[in-house]
Amino acid sequence: MIAENIKTGPRARLLEAASLAARIKDEVKAEVERMVAERGYRPCLAAVRVGDDPASAVYVRNKIRACEEVGIRSEHHALPESTGTSELLELISSLNTREDVDGILAQLPMPSGVDETVIIEAIDPSKDVDGFHPVSAGKLAMGRPVFVPCTPAGIIELLDDNGIELRGTNACVVGRSQIVGRPMAQLLLQRDATVTICHSRTRDLPAVTRNADLLVVAIGRTGFIRRDHIKSGATVIDVGMNKVSDPDEVRSLFGPDAEKRLEVVAKRGYTLVGDVNPAEAAEVAGMLTPVPGGVGLLTVAMLMKNTLKAANLRRR
């Protein structure tokens, strides 16, 4: 894999997550080793993937690799594109009843022949390490979370690790998905931030986002958040992960760093960029997460933490 060493403008400080993700995984590894030594049990994560989506295959492979790094046993159930909801429900039911499986991960998105909502709701809440089940969402909304979706949980860890005060902060979350936007807003609210949620129907989006001391962006639109969306000195968390291959678009997005990114495009065929325009954000923001090297690393680390937590809760 080609490393993308990202350095943005002279003003924004990069909130790189590699060292924090490594520390979280080291902590999980130590706890797993203790569990094996004291209880003779090793936690297990079962990953379920349906179809041949290349991105999903990469994501599952990264999660299984992380399991190996921390000593968690993993299973990969790769099912054909033709798999239907009923067939998948049988597998989920089987994994629910197995005492040696602590966490179940249903990789999204799934093919059109599978009802994702039905599958998510079929997972035993005690094994819902993704934190997507309605029981998990409800407990989070009540301020009594058990499993928090991994990306929002990782963002909170990153903010805490960098000493970013949340109490009283004006925070804006752009995106209202059940995976990132809504749980992110709940977590910030529970930390006494004043939270605004924006979405595709928000009127005059820049006028709203420019009031935010903390801006979290998760909308899946390449480089959508630009200079005029960002308050001077704000902390910007970019959750997006998009591929860009057009040279002119690369130059527009990366400014002085474009040549390095064009080298990556020449070798790999694309480079990665988030939902925030990195060159413009670096001129305005106080702190900014890079893509890659930011939030994505923490998502996998928090999945390991949730799997260990599930094993402990099921055996306390």
CB-based burial of residue 37 (10 Å sphere; 0-12 exposed, 13-18 middle, 19+ buried)? Answer: exposed
What residues act catalytically?
Answer: 63, 107, 130
C-alpha to C-alpha distance for 129 and 302, rounded to whole angstroms = 9
Answer whether 217's CB lies under 8 Å from 225's CB.
yes
Please report the beta strands in the chain, taking only residues with DSSP state E, as ranges in sequence order. Answer: 13-14, 44-50, 73-79, 103-106, 170-174, 194-198, 214-217, 235-238, 242-244, 271-273, 287-288
The CB density around residue 305, as the number of other CB atoms within 10 Å, is 23
| Stretch (H or E) spanning 57 | helix 54-70
- The label of the residue with tokens 């064009």 reads 262
Beta bridge partners of 207: none
- Which of 238, 239, 230 minimizes the C-alpha distance to 283? 230
Answer whether 138's CB lies under 8 Å from 163's CB.
no
CA atoms within 13 A on the CB side of 100: 6
Beta bridge partners of 225: 276
CA atoms within 13 A on the CB side of 180: 21
40: left (phi over 0), alpha (psi -120 to 50) or beta: left
Answer whether 230's CB lies under 8 Å from 288's CB.
no
Strands 235-238 and 214-217: parallel
